[in-house]
Structure 1
Amino acid sequence: MTIRSEHPVGPDAICAALAALGAAPVLDPEMWPEGPQDEDRVRLLGSLLAKVELELTAAIRLGDQELDDLADAVFGWLDQVGTEGALATNVLLNRLQRTAVQIVGRGEDEETPAGRVAAWACVVAAVDALSAELNFQQGDVEGVRRALGRTETALITVLEGMHDLRVAIGDAEEEEEE
C-alpha cells in the first residue's frame, strides 16, 4: 500500500508551522538562497515531527492523569489517520522504523550497548510482526513467511541482548562458544 497525500504540504508551509511552534529553522542564505526547496521537505517534516513530539511529551503529565493524556493524544492521532487498518498500520510501521534507527543511531566508532541492541531488536520484531499481519491481510503468504523469519531473528537478538545484560550484572554466566 502506498500512502500519498491529497494535498502535499510544501516546504514554506512546514517552515511556517515550525515558526508557529517557536522552532523556525535557521536557513543559511548561502545554502538556501531561494529558501527551502522541495528536496528539503522530508527533513523539514522530520523537524516538525520532532517539535510536535517534544510538545506532546511535555504535555503528557506523569501520574494519575497520564492515561487520560495518552488517550487524548491517541484520539487526536486517530482524528488524522483514521481507523482504516492498512493505512494506520503503515503509519505505525513508519514510526517504528524511525524509532529503531533512533535507538541505535550512535556513532559507528562506538559499540552499541547490549540494552540498546535488545531494545532495537524489540522494535524491529514489532515492525516485522506487523508486516507479517499486513501481508496476511493482503494474501501474500510468502511475504508473511519472510516477515515471520525476520521477527524470529529479531526475537533471538532480544534474548541475546537480555542475556548479555544479565552477564554484565552478574546474574548469568557468559556462554562458552563452541
Structure 2
Amino acid sequence: MSISSEHPVSADQVYRALVALGAGPVADPEVRPEGPQEGDRLHLLGALLAKTELEITAATRLGEDEGADDVVEAVIGWSLQVGADPGLTANVVTNRLERTAIQVAESGEDEPPPGRNAAFAAVTIAAYALTAQRSALGRMEAE
C-alpha cells in the first residue's frame, strides 16, 4: 500500500481548482504578492475538501421520499479515485475519522451539546479500530 500521491498537486493547482469552484480564498496581496506558496498547500487542500464536502452534502441531502442512490454515487466516485487497495482505503478513511474527531471536539462552545462527547469517543474509537485492524493484517501478512 502506497500513501504517496503518484502525481501530487501543487498549491497553485489547488488554488486554481478553488477559484474554478467559486471558493478561492482571497489572499492579502501585501502578505502574499506572489500568490499561494507550497507552504499553503495543506490549508488549500483543506479548503478544497470542505468545498467538496459541502457540495456533496447539498447534493445528497435525503428527504422523506428520496433514496440513498445519490450517496451511493458519491461513494462510487470516491472508490474509483482511491482504487481497490483495501489498506489505502482504510488509511484514507482513518485520516478522515481523525479529522472528524478534531472537528467534533472543537465545538467552540463552553458546554458542548448533549452527545458531543459520545460522538467524539465513537469517531476516535472507529479510527483506532481501523488502525488496529491494519496493524493486525500487516503482522499476519508478515508471518
**TM-score, length basis structure 1:** 0.73
Provide the C-alpha distance between the structure 2 equivalents of 1:61 and 1:128, rounded to a whole number of angstroms. Answer: 29
Task: Report the 3-state secondary structure (helix = DSSP H, G, I; strand = E; otherwise coil) of the residue aligned with 1:132.
Answer: helix
**Aligned CA-pair RMSD:** 1.7
Task: Report the 3-state secondary structure (helix = DSSP H, G, I; strand = E; otherwise coil) of the residue aligned with 1:139.
Answer: helix
Kindly provide the amino acid, as one letter, of the partner of residue 73 in structure 2: D
2:102 aligned residue? 101
Provide the C-alpha distance between the structure 2 equivalents of 1:86 and 1:31, rounded to a whole number of angstroms. Answer: 41
Task: Report the 3-state secondary structure (helix = DSSP H, G, I; strand = E; otherwise coil) of the residue aligned with 2:118.
Answer: helix
Kindly provide the amino acid, as one letter, of the partner of residue 51 in structure 1: K
Task: Report the 3-state secondary structure (helix = DSSP H, G, I; strand = E; otherwise coil) of the residue aligned with 1:26.
Answer: coil
Could you report, residue by residue, the CA deviation over 1:62-81 in whole angstroms, capped at 9, with x for unpaired residues? 13434101110110001100
1:78 aligned residue? 79
Task: Report the 3-state secondary structure (helix = DSSP H, G, I; strand = E; otherwise coil) of the residue aligned with 2:14.
Answer: helix
Give the deviation of 1:3 after TM superposition. Answer: 1.2
Q: Could you say which structure has the larger radius of gyration?
A: 1
1:17 aligns with 2:17: yes
Provide the C-alpha distance between the structure 2 equivalents of 1:33 and 1:3, rounded to a whole number of angstroms. Answer: 33
More moved, 54-63 vs 92-101: 54-63
2:68 aligned residue? 67
- Paired residues, number: 139
1:44 aligned residue? 44
CA contact (8 A) 1:104 1:116 kept: yes
Task: Report the 3-state secondary structure (helix = DSSP H, G, I; strand = E; otherwise coil) of the residue aligned with 2:139.
Answer: coil
Gap runs ≥5 in structure 1? 141-178
More moved, 39-48 vs 56-65: 56-65
The percentage of counterpart residues that share the same residue type is: 54
Gap runs ≥5 in structure 2? none
Task: Report the 3-state secondary structure (helix = DSSP H, G, I; strand = E; otherwise coil) of the residue aligned with 1:97.
Answer: helix
CA contact (8 A) 1:103 1:120 kept: yes
Kindly provide the amino acid, as one letter, of the partner of residue 119 in structure 2: A
CA contact (8 A) 1:60 1:66 kept: no
Provide the C-alpha distance between the structure 2 equivalents of 1:16 and 1:48, rounded to a whole number of angstroms. Answer: 10
CA contact (8 A) 1:97 1:127 kept: yes
Kindly provide the amino acid, as one letter, of the partner of residue 101 in structure 1: I
Task: Report the 3-state secondary structure (helix = DSSP H, G, I; strand = E; otherwise coil) of the residue aligned with 1:4.
Answer: coil
**TM-score, length basis structure 2:** 0.90
